[in-house]
């Protein structure tokens, strides 16, 4: 739970914010209606707050004194204002507030909550700033630091390349066009030969007046482009937008690859990865073992104890399954059907599954439900065709069911 200090005196704005906070289980607001209340709160409990949403104009703080108060305690500060003043906005952003948000509409308040959520995840985001100008690097660092990013600097393209090689977990590169050694443009082309867009976000910078430069950067792999000089808001918005797009793409990939209930590979992902492992085994001249598994009497669990109990059985089994064979490729193919691809021999794999079965019998997944049990068929053979291997394992699974369930057939 994150505590958010809200300094605001408008009943209407407070009503909107309270409504939005009620929809956020991970954010807990503490409301203060004046500078005096906020001062008492921060003096006694500043360390308990994650961030602050602050009204720029209060009856006892008409000139932004509430912002100065919050900044003294080094809290990320999102400023709300009922009127727009460009000079005041620039002053606040250079002072280090997270952002300056106008009280214009519901969308404005929702944007403030987007900022709060980004602050939660930004501490894990690494940004490399490749810029030969020390003043420019310091300016960019000053803009991005209030958002809690991890900032790394490089003074030219060569140093940027070395840094990216040493720290492959860097999320975003802000790169200037003209630098000594490898230029920013050449660095983008080089990086995109090795790294996909979801692996590294790239934002190009340039003071060059050529209108075609931004198109060249993006065509050769940059995700976005900014022309110097730029205002702090523009850089922050571009960085946040590109990170949100990346996170959305990763979420879509996650949904396409993994079963939503158990977290195991879904059928499509299992087959795609299985085919890759088969090709590798063919080149190495190795045999592989496959297994098909079914939870026993799963329909009875659903019918007699409810579908929530059935879901719980699937989740509990999947966790035990993954722990029992950590080096194998696992998948939920649908319903109560699971599959496995392993480098173990059929004999070894059958013994592993027998131990898993004994462990499953002791697991609790629903009140009054029968012990968790499964049947399995195992087959070992040359990795010629995944469908054929799985078919052979499925035949043995059928034998296990025919022989009374709760056992593994592998011969």
Contact 379, 410 (CB under 8 A): yes
Predicted local distance difference test score (pLDDT) of residue 193: 86
**What are 272's two structure tokens?**
């795609």
Pairing of strands 337-342, 329-334: antiparallel
**Tens digit of pLDDT for each residue in 233-244?**
899 999 999 999
Residues with Cβ within 8 Å of 18's Cβ and at least 6 positions away in sequence, in order, are 29, 31
Which residues lie across from 27 on neighbouring strands?
A: 2
Show the tokens assigned to 264.
């195991």
Q: How far apart are CA 173 and CA 125, in angstroms?
A: 11
> Following CA atoms 356, 357, 362, 367 in sequence, which dihedral angle do they give, to the nearest 10 degrees?
120
Instruction: Return the half-sphere exposure (C-beta side, CA atoms, 13 A cut-off) of residue 99.
Output: 21
Instruction: Summarize pLDDT for 117-156 with one digit per residue, the tens.
Output: 999 999 999 999 999 999 999 999 999 999 999 999 999 9
């629903």: which residue's tokens? 366
pLDDT of residue 250: 85
Q: Give pTM, 2 decimals.
A: 0.74
pLDDT for the residue 7: 97
> What is the rounded CA–CA span in Å between residue 280 and residue 205?
42
Q: Across the strands, what pairs with 337?
A: 294, 334
Low-confidence ranges of the chain (pLDDT < 70): 197
User: According to the model, what pLDDT value does residue 392 have?
Assistant: 94
Give the largest Cα separation in the chain, rounded.
Answer: 83
Identify which of 363, 362, 353 has the alpha carbon closest to the alpha carbon of residue 397: 353
Q: Concatenate the DSSP letters of all residues of 83-141 into one string.
A: S--HHHHHHHHHHT-SEEEE--SHHHHHHHHHHHHHHHHHTT-EEEEE-S-HHHHHHHH
Structural domains of the chain, ranges and CATH numbers in brackets: 2-119 (3.40.50.2300), 123-253 (3.40.50.2300), 267-409 (3.30.70.270)
Alpha carbons 317 and 124: distance in angstroms, whole number: 32
β-strand partners of 100: 79
| pLDDT for the residue 380 | 94
């Amino acid at each position: 739970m994150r505590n958010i200090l809200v300094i605001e005196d408008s009943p209407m704005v407070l009503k909107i914010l309270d409504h939005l906070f009620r929809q956020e289980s991970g954010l807990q607001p503490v409301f203060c209606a004046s500078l005096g209340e906020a001062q008492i709160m921060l003096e006694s409990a500043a360390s308990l707050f994650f961030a602050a949403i602050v009204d720029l104009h209060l009856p006892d703080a008409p000139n932004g004194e509430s912002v100065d108060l919050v900044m003294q305690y080094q809290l990320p500060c999102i400023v709300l204002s009922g009127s727009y003043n460009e000079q005041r906005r620039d002053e606040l952003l250079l002072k280090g507030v997270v952002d300056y948000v106008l009280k214009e509409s519901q969308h404005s308040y929702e944007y403030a909550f987007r900022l709060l959520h980004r602050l939660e995840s930004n501490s894990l985001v690494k940004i490399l700033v490749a810029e030969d100008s020390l003043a420019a690097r310091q300016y960019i660092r000053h803009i991005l630091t209030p958002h809690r990013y991890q900032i790394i600097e490089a003074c030219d393209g060569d140093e940027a390349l070395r840094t990216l090689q040493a720290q492959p977990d860097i999320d975003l590169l802000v790169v200037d066009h003209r630098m000594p050694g490898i230029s920013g443009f050449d660095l983008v082309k080089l990086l995109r030969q090795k790294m996909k867009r979801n692996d590294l976000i790239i934002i190009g910078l340039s003071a060059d007046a050529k209108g075609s430069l931004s198109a060249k950067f993006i065509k050769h792999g940059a995700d976005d482009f900014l022309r110097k000089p730029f205002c702090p808001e523009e850089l922050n918005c571009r960085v946040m937008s590109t990170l949100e797009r990346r996170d959305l793409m990763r979420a879509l990939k996650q949904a396409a690859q993994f079963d939503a209930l158990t977290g195991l590979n879904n059928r499509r992902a299992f087959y795609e990865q299985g085919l890759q492992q088969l090709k590798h085994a063919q080149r190495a001249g190795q045999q592989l073992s496959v297994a098909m598994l079914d939870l026993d009497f799963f329909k009875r669990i659903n019918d007699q104890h409810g579908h929530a109990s059935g879901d719980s059985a699937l989740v509990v089994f999947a966790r035990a399954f993954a722990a029992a064979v950590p080096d194998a490729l696992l998948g939920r193919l649908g319903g109560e059907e699971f599959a496995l691809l392993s480098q173990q021999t059929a004999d070894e794999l059958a013994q592993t599954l027998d131990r898993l079965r004994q462990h499953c019998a002791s697991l609790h997944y629903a009140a009054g439900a029968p012990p968790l049990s499964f049947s399995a068929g195992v087959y070992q053979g040359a990795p010629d065709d995944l469908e054929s291997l799985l078919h052979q394992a499925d035949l043995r699974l059928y034998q296990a069911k025919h022989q009374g369930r709760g056992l593994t057939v592998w011969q």
